[in-house]
Structure 1
Amino acid sequence: MSGNEPLPDPPAPPALLARRSWALPSAVAAKFDPDRGPRKGGRRPRRTARDWVVDFACFGVAVVIGMVGADAIGKNPNVSPGIAEADQLIGALACAAIWLRRRWPVGLAVAMVLVSLASDTAGGAAAIALFTLAVHRPFRYVGWIGGLSIAVVPFIYWLRPDADLPYLVTVLVGVLINASVIGWGMFVRSRRQLLLSLRDRAIRAENEATLRAEQAQRLARESIAREMHDVLAHRLTLLSVHAGALEFRPDAPREEIVRAAGVIRESAHEALQDLREVIGVLRGGGEDGEASGRPQPTLAALETLVAESRGAGMKVALDHRVADPAAVPAAVGRTAYRIAQEGLTNARKHAPGAEVTVLVSGAPGEGLTLSVRNPPPPGDVPKVPGSGQGLIGLTERATLAGGRIEHGSAADGGFRVDAWLPWD
């Protein structure tokens, strides 16, 4: 294993790293590329090109160190020729065992600790096995086996003293070599874990961005749906009421028929224009009302709404106690306008002929209060389709604006809608 790979800064996207998986260790590549994960039967992921290069390099390092050790053991006067030959044979077998280091890192490391007691030639293979253990296994394995490998160093040089260096020096050098190998392996493992953590962070960031985009789209769709309901329901209710009047009173005076037809024509024209604006917003990617041709209504347009309802035949009493409607924040005024619009629409549908009272009051710091009330209808109520979604939308609007809304039956049997909105 080599710990010289540069850590990506900033981290590359997971998809890019997956395409470069040939340059990653198989254990890391399997995390980035699911196709490299464990195959059927629980077998290990296939080796990458980097794995093969590293394995050959580790085998070559073990062989080179083994050859140096074999030369030194052959020249050591403290070791007999028979023991030197056995040492070299054990070292050759230890180098061959390097190819098993990925499959059994713990077992190979333990075996190399025992082999190192009998063979100086196996020193390179023992170091590679110890490094592999530190890279592939948690510290609880490295601590025990690494401590054991350091503990046997004095026994190794006691059994086969070095011919040139003092005993204490050789022991110190052996301990430093083992500690350096363990530290290097743990460093490589920590960098791999950092790489995987950066990959997980990138994936989580992508998922969170996707969720935020989906949530924004959902909120935008809900907002547009509420806007379409609030805008079109008012117009279409006028169409339904006056068309129903023409249907049930075909013998009405000509003036009433002409007026009802005019209201129907005007309402249809306004509904088409409002629908065109909403579709324009959808096509324009969520641009505001001013960019789409007409500004969004505010509290200053409330009198126009009441006048429009009166022109359609409704009895509406407006009590406007706000001295300067233009001073009301645009978002608060727009919410109040929609609440009044929905209240008038419901009164027209469910209490035709009843006089509707609209009360608006408030001041900065106190908040804006809006009340829409109507008594019971004076006669039979024609069947007008409705789903009750308008009141749900009003509640959401008021909540998003930081206010509150209450609606329900009044004491006299009519209906009321009371709202309070913040006005800082």
Structure 2
Amino acid sequence: MNRDAVPRLAGWQQTWRLVAAAALGIPFWLSTAAVLPRGCAADTCSWLVTGDPLVALGCLTVLLWRRRFPLAVAMVVAVASGTSALAVGAALLALCSMSTRRRPAEIGVAACVYVAASQLTLVLYPIKSPSGPVWLQLALPALSAGIAVAMGVAIGARRVEVRSLRARAESAEREQRAREAQARALERNHVAREMHDVLAHRISLVAMQAGVLDHRRNLTPEENRTLIRGIADGSHQALEELRDVLGVLRADPDAPEPPQPSLDRVPELVADARTSGLDVTLTTAVRGKPSDVVGRTCYRVLQEALTNAAKHAPGATVHLTLEGTAGDELHVSVHNSPATTATNPPPSSGFGLLGLSERVTLVGGELTHHSTHDGGYLLTAHLPWPNHDHEERS
């Protein structure tokens, strides 16, 4: 920001400054009239009454441009003040206004011109010069110029400080808006990830069951009823879970969050998958209870793996393995055999494994997945399990 950039004054602000400058010149004009000798020359007294006010009026008019041309206006008014006592106030205002720029060279030149021009009064009016050294004759003009300069420098410093504080406030406001936007983006990503985790699994199982009904014509009535009941139950659970997620968005931000899935709910996840028709086996060798974060991450890894198996390998055998202990790592392994049923796979977002990898990375773990030599697929995750997390929750 330009340090010399000064906002334009309102009409009333401009007016009262000019009135103050005119009023300040009146004492100088009266003091000059008081020291004139009795019976002074007619032309001298006529200048005091007519010419002096006219010059002062011209100086006040020139002051309207002092913010656009501060140095030029200050020089012109300073010189004119030597021929008009009433213009002294205008000269001091111009000097003060120019000093707000805080440029020592300009201030020094303008102040010297003002002090030197003040001596023209002794030539224009028949005033008896006071006895004493020259510096005493310059004392009053120099003092008045010094006061004007000091006021101008102080005003300029105040303007710079105000501009700096305003710039800091605007910068802080921009940073706050950026932080809010980032927080909203993170929250949207969080909600999107939760909705994917919650819904993708249920919808994939429903789609798999519907695909079995569509492709297999030799099912018994009891098998048909089981699949239809599974589709209805899965759809109902998907709606309930979606309602829970949307309820979090509408709820009071200070309200407690609903319970999150943990490692204890893995058997329920496996049971749901078996009910939907997946051939799932679970092997667990976990000693202890991991932290909520690790347990929730493990649950989401298994949920996403079962969802992908239902989508891309219908009819396959899925084997889940969990093993680990506190102070080491929690190892998660999901292996599915090749698909044995030909169905049209449901639409995929393509972000399931990507989001899962980000989730695992956030807890300091590592996720790998690849095809196996038998045509199946293997997904493994290594999640850190520090001792202190276990001790705090035991």
Q: Is the shorter-chain TM-score for this pair beyond 0.5, marking a shared fold?
A: yes
* TM-score, normalised relative to structure 2: 0.82
Cα deviations by residue, 1:284-304 (Å, 9 ceiling, x for unpaired): 15577x654xx2101221122
Q: Which moved more, 1:92-101 or 1:183-192?
A: 92-101
| In structure 1, C-alpha distance between the alignment counterparts of 2:365 and 2:254, rounded to whole Å | 25
| In structure 1, C-alpha distance between the alignment counterparts of 2:154 and 2:85, rounded to whole Å | 27
The SS at the match of 1:407 is: strand
Establish whether residue 362 from structure 1 lines up as the match of residue 329 from structure 2.
Answer: no
Q: Which moved more, 1:89-98 or 1:173-182?
A: 89-98
Contact 1:352 1:377 (C-alpha < 8 Å) held by counterparts = yes
Establish whether residue 342 from structure 1 lines up as the match of residue 298 from structure 2.
Answer: no
| In structure 1, C-alpha distance between the alignment counterparts of 2:300 and 2:340, rounded to whole Å | 26
Aligned residue runs from structure 1 range 260-279, under 5 A: 260-279=227-246
Contact 2:29 2:85 (C-alpha < 8 Å) held by counterparts = no
Corresponding position of 1:146: 107
Corresponding position of 2:215: 248
Of the candidates 22, 36, 50, which is equivalent to residue 59 of structure 1?
Answer: 22
Aligned residue runs from structure 1 range 172-211, under 5 A: 172-211=139-178
Q: Which moved more, 1:110-119 or 1:51-60?
A: 110-119
* TM-score, normalised relative to structure 1: 0.76
Cα deviations by residue, 1:82-124 (Å, 9 ceiling, x for unpaired): 6676577356413432233242432210113333455555432
Contact 2:318 2:337 (C-alpha < 8 Å) held by counterparts = yes
Corresponding position of 2:264: 300
Q: Which moved more, 1:107-116 or 1:233-242?
A: 107-116
Q: Percent same amino acid at aligned positions?
A: 33
Cα deviations by residue, 1:120-144 (Å, 9 ceiling, x for unpaired): 5543222111011123xx333xx23
Corresponding position of 1:235: 202
- How many residues of Structure 1 are paired with residues of Structure 2 in the alignment? 372
Cα deviations by residue, 1:241-272 (Å, 9 ceiling, x for unpaired): 11111122232123322322232222122112
| In structure 1, C-alpha distance between the alignment counterparts of 2:41 and 2:382, rounded to whole Å | 101
| In structure 1, C-alpha distance between the alignment counterparts of 2:227 and 2:87, rounded to whole Å | 105
Displacement, 1:349? 1.1
* Alignment-mate amino acid for residue 182 of structure 2: Q
Aligned residue runs from structure 1 range 24-423, under 5 A: 27-28=6-7, 47-62=10-25, 64-71=26-33, 74-75=36-37, 89-90=51-52, 92-104=54-66, 105-117=70-82, 122-135=87-100, 138-140=101-103, 143-152=104-113, 155=116, 160=122, 162-163=129-130, 166-285=133-252, 291-292=257-258, 295-325=259-289, 328-423=290-385
Q: Which moved more, 1:196-205 or 1:148-157?
A: 148-157
| In structure 2, C-alpha distance between the alignment counterparts of 1:100 and 1:169, rounded to whole Å | 31
Contact 2:99 2:153 (C-alpha < 8 Å) held by counterparts = yes
Where structure 2 has 5 or more consecutive residues not aligned to the other structure, the ranges are 123-127, 387-394
| In structure 1, C-alpha distance between the alignment counterparts of 2:325 and 2:134, rounded to whole Å | 94
Q: 1:58 to 1:251 in 2, by over 3 A?
A: same
Where structure 1 has 5 or more consecutive residues not aligned to the other structure, the ranges are 1-25, 29-44
| In structure 1, C-alpha distance between the alignment counterparts of 2:248 and 2:21, rounded to whole Å | 65
Q: 1:291 to 1:113 in 2, by over 3 A?
A: closer
Q: 1:152 to 1:248 in 2, by over 3 A?
A: closer
| In structure 2, C-alpha distance between the alignment counterparts of 1:75 and 1:336, rounded to whole Å | 106
The SS at the match of 1:321 is: strand
Contact 2:111 2:145 (C-alpha < 8 Å) held by counterparts = yes
* Alignment-mate amino acid for residue 307 of structure 2: T
The SS at the match of 1:261 is: helix
Q: 1:150 to 1:103 in 2, by over 3 A?
A: closer
Displacement, 1:397? 1.9
* Alignment-mate amino acid for residue 112 of structure 2: A
CA radius of gyration, larger in: 2
* Alignment-mate amino acid for residue 312 of structure 1: S
* Alignment-mate amino acid for residue 346 of structure 1: N
| In structure 2, C-alpha distance between the alignment counterparts of 1:374 and 1:85, rounded to whole Å | 114
Q: Which moved more, 1:340-349 or 1:260-269?
A: 260-269
Q: Which moved more, 1:259-268 or 1:150-159?
A: 150-159
Displacement, 1:164? 6.5
Q: 1:113 to 1:369 in 2, by over 3 A?
A: farther
